Structure 1
């Protein structure tokens, strides 16, 4: 199965989670690409308007993927503006199986994680994606490593099921 992981990471936390997911899926025999969104003109951490953010073109062709995994940080109790800008620039996802995960520094999912997932899910669904899995990593949680392992296992399970 050809899988693409596309992330926005400001502090490296989302990148770390994406690498763990990638390693797990590669160990299970999937073909993977991992791409980090690059903002044209550099990262402005104060920019919250996705309309004012330009993303460099990806090297990954989303249409060629069997499965798309999207990840990003929670910012201001919302999905990353850079991820929203990226998703806003996609014309359609045409029934593509899609997974979403976010990372945040809060102890409870209701403190931003749930709303960020909902926003990303809504944008993807409007573009025709088939959301098959979501997850939230609470970065300050003492069981963060267990959460990451559980997320990677859940992604791998769903990827295997989608491949069959």
Structure 2
């Protein structure tokens, strides 16, 4: 089972979480491929998918919105999908929740079966523990 980790990262925060997740999955014996949305991933080659992005203006980054909107209708059809949002603020309610709702709506419209959602609050104390817990849970799900 190959897992596609497909992200949009502007500052590198989402990328760093995705790299940690890829290493965790590899250590657990689960092959994973890390790609950016610009790489135009082939979703048919993945059994499960993680889609990750940052927020902009308390919403999902417009690059990710445009990318997902342009995907053909059944691209994510019944694929086990995990969603990841990173944002600069210390609380989910400061943009993370809104971005996650937008991301979920877009991927479900493409047929995805969302099995987990994680928001990383980048300026929250204990961020590393938050990332570690998210990576551990995602690894166990995928």
Interval containing the TM-score (normalised by the shorter chain): over 0.9
Match of 2:43 among 62, 65, 70: 62
Matched, 1:9 2:9: yes
TM-score, length basis structure 1: 0.83
Residue in 2 that maps onto 1:20: 20
Counterpart CA distance in 2 for 1:87 and 1:4 is: 15
**RMSD across aligned C-alpha pairs, in angstroms?**
1.0
Residue in 1 that maps onto 2:71: 90
Counterpart CA distance in 1 for 2:69 and 2:44 is: 16
Which consecutive unaligned segments of at least 5 residues does structure 2 have? none
SS of 2:90's equivalent?
coil
| Equivalences, count | 140
Q: How does 1:132-147 map to 2 (within 5 A)?
A: 132-147=115-130
* 4+ residue segments displaced more than 2 Å: none
Which consecutive unaligned segments of at least 5 residues does structure 1 have? 39-56, 160-164
Q: Give 1:127 shift.
A: 1.1
SS of 1:29's equivalent?
coil
Q: Give 1:89 shift.
A: 1.6
Counterpart CA distance in 1 for 2:16 and 2:100 is: 19
Match of 1:80 among 41, 61, 68: 61
Larger radius of gyration: 1
Q: Give 1:65 shift.
A: 0.7
TM-score, length basis structure 2: 0.95
SS of 2:100's equivalent?
helix
SS of 1:142's equivalent?
coil
SS of 1:148's equivalent?
helix
